[in-house]
């Protein structure tokens, strides 16, 4: 499932084509994805202007001039495709089948933005004016926000027996983190993913906050990680997977200079955790 860097990469790719543009035509080619589409989706979107395109955690949000916000989650295999763009033509990968085009927006300049989702685990919804969507209601601070500070994380971690890996994946604690980037940040910080969150000292928590931000920044700069389905809005692959230090590197030598360890994989809460048993403690 795309994590924060992949969703942010998609947002940045769509921004020049959607933000400030009017949606001349909207199509909903099926009644549902993971959940039913709003019955008035086409009516609300047609003719609306996109004021702002933003991201919250792993969600894309397009604020419309009608006081409504379009909410979208890519799910497991969702892709946003840009075709016939005024700022250079992008061409569809033949492997991306048109039968999986579920929501299509055509702007006034002729650019077509398509939500293609082969597995249909994605979702599209509308947030009405004055409402808070239940999927967003309990999210914690963004990793780049001032609210995600060493002091905040120390307070949240205090007394917690849960492993730090599990705590960082809790979207109520910090929004947008997923399995890949938590594994990478913990390796950079030298923290064992099994260590109880409440047993991490203040100095190491402060370092962890910095490493979380750094690994996310590095991944965004690389266009995210393309492991299975992720593509940028232009169709390009992300490249951060070539910079992994622990994720999906089971049995390989640790990349930390001077460390003789080999990467180990364990299961935590049904997910694979990758770490070095020698330099992460």
Predicted local confidence at residue 90, as pLDDT: 54
- Looking at residue 49, the DSSP 8-state letter turns out to be B
Reply yes or no on whether the pLDDT at 74 is more than 90: yes
The band of 93, judged by pLDDT with boundaries at 50, 70 and 90, is: low
Nearest CA to 105 out of 8, 236, 235, 233 is that of: 233
165 carries an active-site annotation: no
Nearest CA to 274 out of 130, 132, 165 is that of: 165
Average pLDDT of the segment spanning 58-76: 96
Reply yes or no on whether the pLDDT at 225 is more than 70: no
Reply yes or no on whether the pLDDT at 87 is more than 80: no
Predicted local confidence at residue 77, as pLDDT: 83
What token pair was written down for 170?
Answer: 């809790």
Q: Report helix angle 179-189 to 202-221, nearest 10.
A: 130
Q: Give the C-alpha separation, 6 to 227, whole Å.
A: 11
Report, in angstroms and rounded to the nearest whole number, the Rg of the chain calculated over CA atoms. Answer: 20
In order, the DSSP letters of 100-156 are GEEEEEEETTS-EEEEEESS---EEEEE-TT---TTTTT----TTSTTS-HHHHHHH
Average pLDDT of the segment spanning 17-39: 96
Contact indicator for 142, 175 with CB cutoff of 8 Å? yes
Nearest CA to 210 out of 192, 228, 189 is that of: 189
Domains and CATH numbers, the chain: 4-127 (3.20.190.10), 150-244 (1.10.8.50)
271 carries an active-site annotation: yes
Average pLDDT of the segment spanning 218-222: 87
- Looking at residue 78, the DSSP 8-state letter turns out to be E
Please state, rounded to an integer, the average pLDDT across all residues of the chain. Answer: 90
Q: Which listed residue (11, 55, 58, 188) is catalytic?
A: 58
Q: Which listed residue (3, 6, 142, 184) is catalytic?
A: 3
Query: Which helix H or strand E contains 274, and what residues bound it?
Result: strand 271-275
Q: Give the C-alpha separation, 4 to 161, whole Å.
A: 26
Predicted local confidence at residue 94, as pLDDT: 59
Helix ranges (H only) for the chain are 4-18, 41-45, 150-157, 164-169, 179-189, 202-221
How many helices (H) and strands (E) would you count in the chain? Answer: 6, 10
Q: Which listed residue (2, 38, 143, 193) is catalytic?
A: 2
Look at 236 and 168; give whichever has higher pLDDT. Answer: 168
Nearest CA to 50 out of 17, 81, 84 is that of: 17
Q: Which listed residue (34, 120, 271, 277) is catalytic?
A: 271
98 carries an active-site annotation: no
141 carries an active-site annotation: no
């Amino acid at each position: 499932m795309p994590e924060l860097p992949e969703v942010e990469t998609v947002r940045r790719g769509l921004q020049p084509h959607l933000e400030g543009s009017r949606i001349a035509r909207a199509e909903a080619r099926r009644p549902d994805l993971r959940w039913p589409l709003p019955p008035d989706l086409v009516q609300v979107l047609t003719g609306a202007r996109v004021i702002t395109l933003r991201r919250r955690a792993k969600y894309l949000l397009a604020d419309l001039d009608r006081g409504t916000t379009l909410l979208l989650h890519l799910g497991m295999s969702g892709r946003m495709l840009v075709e016939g763009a005024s700022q250079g033509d992008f061409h569809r990968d033949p492997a991306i089948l048109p039968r999986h085009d579920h929501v299509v927006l055509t702007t006034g300049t002729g650019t077509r933005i398509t939500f293609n989702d082969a597995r249909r685990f994605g979702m599209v919804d509308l947030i009405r004016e004055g409402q808070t969507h239940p999927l967003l209601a309990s999210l914690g601070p963004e990793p780049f926000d001032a609210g995600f500070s060493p002091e905040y994380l120390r307070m949240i971690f205090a007394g917690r027996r849960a492993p730090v890996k599990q705590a960082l994946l809790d979207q109520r604690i910090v929004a947008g983190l997923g399995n890949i980037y938590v594994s990478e940040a913990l390796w950079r910080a030298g923290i064992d993913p099994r260590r109880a969150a409440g047993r991490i000292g203040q100095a190491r928590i402060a370092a962890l906050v910095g490493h979380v931000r750094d690994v996310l920044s590095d991944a965004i700069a690389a266009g995210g990680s393309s492991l299975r389905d992720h593509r940028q809005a232009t169709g390009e692959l992300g490249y951060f997977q070539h910079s992994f230090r622990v994720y999906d590197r089971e049995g390989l030598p640790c990349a930390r200079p001077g460390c003789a360890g080999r990467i180990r994989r364990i299961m935590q809460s049904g997910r694979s955790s990758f770490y070095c048993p020698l330099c992460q403690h």
